Amino acid sequence: MFDEFDREVFEAGQHIFEYGDEGDCAYLIEEGIVEVFILEQGRERRIKLIGKGELFGEVSLLDRQPRTATVRVIEKAVLVPIPRKLVDGLLEKSDPILRHLLLVILERFREKVNDALESSTKAELSPEHSSLRRTAKGEATQKIAIAHGMLRALSHDEFHLHYQPICDLADGQTVGFEALLRWHHPTEGVIQPKDFLWIAEQTGFIREIGMWALDRACRDWPELRKCTNLDAPFISVNLSANQLNDEMLVENIKAIIEKHKMNPTELKLELTETAMVASPEIALNIMNRLIKLGCGIALDDYGAGHSGLGQLQRYPISTVKIDAAFINSIDDSVQSQEIVRSTLALARSLGMKVVAEGIERKDIRVILLGMGCEIGQGWLFGYPSSLQELQLNKTER
């Protein structure tokens, strides 16, 4: 089974490693039997016998501490070593909370082993372990603090929505708004989505937060829609990839729409290509059901991914939002111009609307208009603002 690995062969009676040895690998037993034991008052005490298919030496491999027992071969053994460099990479990439928990468990295990030993043979934890543990603890604590804070944030009303206008590039009229999440942390101040949404994604909290955002946007909509002079404006709400795996997603969205007596045609849900490509069939099914409810679907951050619009044709997308990176560089990058031009052409032929994201300057607005782009969003037209701020602007105008 492990043809690609080097094996090590040990004869009966041989020690594979001894208590206190440095340990930079674990072993998988391909053939044979080994005995794990410790010395108690000079006498051997067997911990266990292990055989084919089992693993030993994993503790030192993971926590970089000396071996906690001696292992001797009982029946000729063929072993596949699992080197540290293989596991180190995996550990580094693993979730800091899980890494921290693993190190805590290993430390407790070593304490137990130490308790059973005489004082002269007790092993001290090395500085390397402490530093490893400190790093994992630091990262884990930060992550746990944010995750824990997010739980509290929902129940303590610390999340807020800001709304950014989406405008007609020709006359500057607001045609819709995008709802963007902000966390008003009691001690840290306002935290931006980039600093907490990734943890919300990983932990799954995004499902609750996402539903909260949709509910709040629909609740605010009757007031927000008065901030534009148009008859049929829309509100766009972001959906994350993780939310697509929520079996109740469409039912929950439907319930929120009904609760707020929202006109579903005025609601757009923004999804990125990553979310669609991660599980295409699930995404397609959800999108079709959302369309059936009457909502629109916007493809967010277009151009940042790998798919061309042609590949995304089978999805019922009504709006394509071109990623800000291409818009900001449109004046000096031929490639960006090409992406915008081809997106506009293809979207037109597919009957999709195009929104240019991140417009900060007048000259970019002019270039986009010249290319036939009709709708845009960006600081030039308005920053994301609270409903109250938008209402004040309206009365001031």
Residues that bind ligand C2E (CB under 6 A): 164, 180-181, 192-194, 197, 206, 210, 213, 238-240, 300-301, 324, 358-360, 377-379, 384
∠ at Cα 378 (374, 383), nearest 5°? Answer: 135
Does residue 24 sit in helix, strand or coil?
A: coil
Return the one option of ligand C2E, Ca ion, none that residue 213 interacts with (CB less than 5 to 8 A, by type).
ligand C2E
Does residue 316 sit in helix, strand or coil?
A: coil
Interaction residues for Ca ion, span 226-255 (CB under 5 A): 238
| Closer by beta carbon to ligand C2E, 149 or else 358 | 358
In the bound complex, what is the minimum distance in angstroms from residue 32's beta carbon to ligand C2E?
A: 53
**Distance between CA atoms of residues 70 and 64, nearest Å:** 16
If one asks whether residue 300 binds Ca ion (CB under 5 A), the answer comes out as: yes
| Closer by beta carbon to ligand C2E, 84 or else 184 | 184
| Closer by beta carbon to ligand C2E, 59 or else 249 | 249
In the bound complex, what is the minimum distance in angstroms from residue 238's beta carbon to ligand C2E?
A: 4
Rama region for 157: left / alpha / beta (φ>0; ψ in -120 to 50; rest): left
**Distance between CA atoms of residues 333 and 329, nearest Å:** 6
Does residue 69 sit in helix, strand or coil?
A: coil
If one asks whether residue 301 binds Ca ion (CB under 5 A), the answer comes out as: yes
Total of chain residues touching Ca ion, rule CB under 5 A: 5
| Closer by beta carbon to Ca ion, 34 or else 191 | 191
If one asks whether residue 336 binds Ca ion (CB under 5 A), the answer comes out as: no
| Closer by beta carbon to ligand C2E, 238 or else 343 | 238
Interaction residues for Ca ion, span 349-388 (CB under 5 A): 357
| Closer by beta carbon to Ca ion, 107 or else 301 | 301
In the bound complex, what is the minimum distance in angstroms from residue 323's beta carbon to ligand C2E?
A: 7
Residue 169 in tokens: 């590039």
Return the one option of Ca ion, ligand C2E, none that residue 390 interacts with (CB less than 5 to 8 A, by type).
none
Return the one option of Ca ion, ligand C2E, none that residue 358 interacts with (CB less than 5 to 8 A, by type).
ligand C2E
| Closer by beta carbon to Ca ion, 35 or else 301 | 301
Return the one option of Ca ion, ligand C2E, none that residue 198 interacts with (CB less than 5 to 8 A, by type).
none
Close Cβ partners of 98 (under 8 Å, ≥ 6 residues apart): none
Other C-beta atoms closer than 10 Å to the C-beta of 100 total 21
In the bound complex, what is the minimum distance in angstroms from residue 19's beta carbon to ligand C2E?
A: 52
In the bound complex, what is the minimum distance in angstroms from residue 153's beta carbon to ligand C2E?
A: 13
Segment interacting with Ca ion, rule: CB under 5 A, options 149-157, 239-247, 300-308, 365-373: 300-308
∠ at Cα 199 (319, 216), nearest 5°? Answer: 50
Residue 124 in tokens: 């001290």
Position 118: which residue type? E
Task: Check if the beta carbon of residue 340 is closer than 8 Å to that of residue 356.
Answer: yes
DSSP H or E segment with residue 306: none
| Closer by beta carbon to ligand C2E, 166 or else 347 | 166
**Distance between CA atoms of residues 131 and 134, nearest Å:** 5
In the bound complex, what is the minimum distance in angstroms from residue 179's beta carbon to ligand C2E?
A: 6
**Distance between CA atoms of residues 100 and 137, nearest Å:** 6
**Roughly how many angstroms between the first and final C-alpha of the chain, as a whole number?**
74
In the bound complex, what is the minimum distance in angstroms from residue 142's beta carbon to ligand C2E?
A: 20
In sequence order, what DSSP letters do the residues of 324-347 get, joined into one string? HHHHHTTTT-HHHHHHHHHHHHHH
Q: What are phi and psi of 376, to 5 degrees?
A: -155, 170
Considering only 270, 296, 326, 336, the residue that binds Ca ion (CB under 5 A) is: 270
Q: Which residues bind Ca ion (CB under 5 A)?
A: 238, 270, 300-301, 357
